[in-house]
């Protein structure tokens, strides 16, 4: 068993922390300071984004929605999205399967 206590987890700005990564999925903790954003992008995997604390704004599928602590957004593989921190925010990102079809890491598999 692996486990984390998120209240005790120190995550630095601009340094996402990979908590776990294997052929089934990847779990990443992110600190996004107020006013900063994860610019419009897409990932090859299905992505689950959970707000541990803070408040964010998500742009995806021609929608804009705000979420705060305990907010969960799920993105389809290759769905374009952007995330902006409306206040300092700690996020948990889960990607599965890891790596997804078409991801550069699959070229040597």
- Confidence class of residue 109 from pLDDT cuts 50, 70 and 90? low
Gap between the Cα atoms of 99 and 76, Å rounded: 14
Q: What is the pTM of this model?
A: 0.87
pLDDT at 99: 76
Gap between the Cα atoms of 44 and 55, Å rounded: 25
- Confidence class of residue 35 from pLDDT cuts 50, 70 and 90? very high
pLDDT at 37: 94
Gap between the Cα atoms of 50 and 65, Å rounded: 14
Provide the mean pLDDT of the chain.
92
Q: Going by C-beta distance under 8 Å and a sequence separation of 6 or more, which residues neighbour residue 73?
A: 48, 49, 58, 60, 65, 67
Find the farthest-apart pair of alpha carbons in the chain and give their distance in angstroms, rounded.
40
């Amino acid at each position: 068993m692996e486990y984390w206590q998120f209240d005790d987890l120190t995550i630095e700005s601009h340094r996402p922390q990979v908590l776990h990564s294997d052929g089934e999925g990847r779990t990443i903790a992110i600190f996004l300071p107020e006013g900063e954003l994860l610019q419009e992008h897409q990932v090859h995997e299905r992505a689950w984004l959970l707000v541990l604390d803070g408040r964010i704004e998500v742009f995806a599928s021609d929608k804009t929605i705000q979420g705060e602590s305990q907010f969960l957004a799920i993105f389809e593989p290759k769905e374009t999205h952007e995330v902006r921190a409306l206040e300092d925010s700690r996020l948990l990102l889960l990607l599965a399967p890891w790596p997804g079809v078409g991801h550069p890491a699959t070229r040597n598999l």
